[in-house]
């Protein structure tokens, strides 16, 4: 954080989870005027210690950024990983739920015309989880990269 402070003097660290989970870090060139966090209630299984997602305490963080042109509502997240890579993914339902919760959090908390939702969605564009986010978010212009 100190190494980039000259470029991004404003930051917020969403610490969540346990066992030293790093959480989410947002760096900004412009002032962060408000923050919020919505934890995901469906987030893996505690007995799957080797996966770590439950212990990470995942969710979506909001940083309201005071940009000179307009206020930006910047949302950051890291959704549940897909450990299957082939075959049945037991966490598909978790990511679908997380996308829905994130979309509703954005719809309820956003007060800006400029909304950015970024992070590791652990999904590809044609998955059900991504479709759920697109439909439930209510965002007029959306793109998944």
Beta carbons of 118 and 65 less than 8 angstroms apart: no
Query: What is the share, in percent, of the chain residues with pLDDT greater than 90?
Result: 43
Helix axes 92-109, 128-137, angle to 10 degrees: 10
The sign of the CA dihedral 45, 46, 52, 55 is positive
143 has pLDDT over 70: no
2 has pLDDT over 80: no
Beta carbons of 128 and 97 less than 8 angstroms apart: no
Strands 59-66 and 71-78: antiparallel
Most confident of 77-81, 125-129, 137-141: 77-81
User: Element (H or E) spanning 13, and its range?
Assistant: strand 10-14
Three-state DSSP class for residue 59: strand
Compute the distance between CA of residue 56 and CA of residue 52 in angstroms, rounded to an integer.
6
DSSP class of 41:
S
Name the pLDDT band for 68 (thresholds 50, 70, 90): very high
Compute the distance between CA of residue 88 and CA of residue 10 in angstroms, rounded to an integer.
42
Look up residue 4 and give its two tokens: 């980039």
Rounded average pLDDT over 10-37: 87
Rounded average pLDDT over 48-59: 81
Rounded average pLDDT over 68-87: 89
pLDDT value for 145: 46
């Amino acid at each position: 954080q100190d190494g980039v402070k000259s470029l991004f003097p404003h930051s917020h660290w969403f610490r969540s989870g346990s066992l030293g989970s790093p959480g989410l870090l947002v760096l900004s060139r412009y002032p962060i005027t408000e923050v919020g966090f919505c934890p995901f209630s469906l987030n893996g299984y505690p007995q799957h210690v080797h996966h770590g997602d439950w212990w990470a305490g995942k969710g979506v963080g909001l940083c309201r950024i005071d940009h000179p042109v307009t206020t930006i509502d910047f949302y950051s997240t890291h959704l549940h990983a897909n450990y299957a890579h082939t075959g049945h993914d037991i966490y598909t339902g978790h990511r679908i739920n997380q996308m829905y919760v994130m979309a509703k959090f954005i719809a309820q908390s956003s007060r800006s015309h400029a909304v950015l939702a970024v992070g590791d969605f652990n999904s590809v564009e044609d998955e059900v989880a991504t479709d759920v986010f697109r439909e439930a978010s209510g965002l007029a212009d959306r793109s998944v990269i």
